[in-house]
Structure 1
Amino acid sequence: MKATLISFLLFACGSTCDAQEYSPIKDDFAHTFSIVARDSTTGEMAVGVQSHWFSVGSSVSWGKAGVGVVATQSFINPAYGPRGLELMSEGRNATAALEELVAKDEGKAFRQVAFLDASGEAAAFTGEKCVEAASHLVGRNFSVQANMMLNDEVVPAMEKAFKENHDLPLAERVVKVLQAAQIAGGDIRGKQSAALIVVGAEEVENPWEEKKIDLRVDDHDEPLVELERLLTVARAYEYMNRGDLAMEDGDVQEALEQYGEAQKMFPDNLEMRYWTAIALANDGRLEEALPLFHSIFEEDDNWRTMTKRLPASGLLTVSQEELEKITKR
């Protein structure tokens, strides 16, 4: 990556600046295909993207719960992200917000941008200088867009995949759209990175609550394969988190059910097996827990050491005799 582009990106990421303050550097470009989408049932909104470009998710994808999502690509102007979300949070719909920023942008001929607001309205813009094949398709609750593709079949394939996979959760649906784009030809240069964000339907008070899913594959031979794997892991940990909450509430049976679902998705994960064993022990089902504990300790003895520390924090509620039975070698 050239120094001029690095300087541009560092400067352009300032969220207080308007789009008209940037003009294109006619040298390096960041080309990609992406989707902005909304689940009509849950109201969740997402951005999914893949590119032959390092760490594409750090520049293309933007989202704010209860407000909208933005994908800014081709010759990226990062200001479209924070400024677009700001305008939509002030009451502009996706079309009005995008038109306002494009009108001020001296480099608009090089841009490709898509906005989607919390009502499901989407809007997109593809500048005349975007490298062929470049186009977008906008529908209710989605927009798909791509530039520098191998052929002009990529964008229609994305639209088709979005409509056909309506029964899937939004994140999984977006991954299917990206996979369809790659199958249709994808980026003419190949593939390197991918990203997926999902934000909720309602505005949140705390910034750490903004993204329900935030996954990035910055550099990989098969970024979509890795993105799909990470999404599966993320779903497994959602079950783990629900199990932990059930444990905090004293509902051991619910915790066991949630931990069990997590293990089905990620069976080789020691930690998921471990907290299942802890839940069983806390529920007085020590004989069921012991084989799990012993198999875990055989793979990594550090878990034995940690088990001895848990009673002091209240996370393991067994007698000293039972603790010794669990941790004996």
Structure 2
Amino acid sequence: MSETIYFIGIDIGGTKCTVSISTLKLKIIHRIQFATHTEKGPEYAIKEILNSIDEIKTKIDFDRVKIIGISCGGPLNSKSGIVLSPPNLPGWDNIQIVKIIQDHTKKPTYIQNDANACALAEWRYGAGVGTKNMIFLTFGTGLGAGLILNGKLYTGSNDNAGEVGHIRLDKDGPVGFNKSGSFEGFCSGSGIARLAQIKAEEKLSNGEEVSYCDSFDELQSINTLQLSKLANQGDKDALEVFNASAKRLGQGLSILIDVLNPERIVIGSVYARNPHLFDALSNEVIVKESIPASRSVCSIVPAQLGDSVGDIASLSVAIDEYLNQLDAKQSNE
């Protein structure tokens, strides 16, 4: 009987970090979570990560750990293993996180940005299971993509593949990815809030009432969670905002369908919690804008892994690397 092998996943977020250990079949044996405390600098979180790994060493035979995977917000360089000043991790400037982990554990360690890691997770264990060509869209605070092409994660020449939020959909509109009218500006949590602010300001200036904003002083407090609750209750003003975002989502998805010809597009966060607020209008646009032959083979679905996606994403980085190495070895034999 073969011995059980293990994988460690490290999910580094702006609010919290987790360190998990699982089997090859993704049975999680132990999980540790702690606050990132970005105000304390990267040294604090890194020390907690190493302490968590040391705790895990007491739970299993550490010799059976094959690979460690890290999921972290970008920008980063997955080949050199360096984190490059992510906006949600102030102070994490040119942090050689892979070297730090490898030196401490003596285990091979790999890193991917969170969009790529989540793409791997949804592809292997969630809404993308069974596909060969899949796009994962974050649709959270920002809009990024992870690309699975021909059964492999595609990261591009220098890790910049999948930055679909930078696509300009209109010359004017909410700013996302430092570009007005961008895909991220219209289709992200922060973008929807900005879109609502723009619409509220216009109406208030014309003397009209707005259900989600009583005065100019409240403009900056508008948030997407509040808007989604109102929209789900049938509020006209909130639905107007989501309808505008839905049409832009259809426009952006049509571009991805035409360019990459995926079998499935998996969308997380804001969309995954409220697909009914987007589907009808976005599908109308997709029918008008995309190539019929490409559209006919592509399904658009909400992400399935929910709140556990961070843990599974980091573990997926490790497991995917192990399986790729196994495939390469078998191909050479």
**Do they fold alike, i.e. is TM over 0.5?**
no
Say which one has the larger Rg. 1
TM value normalised by structure 2: 0.28
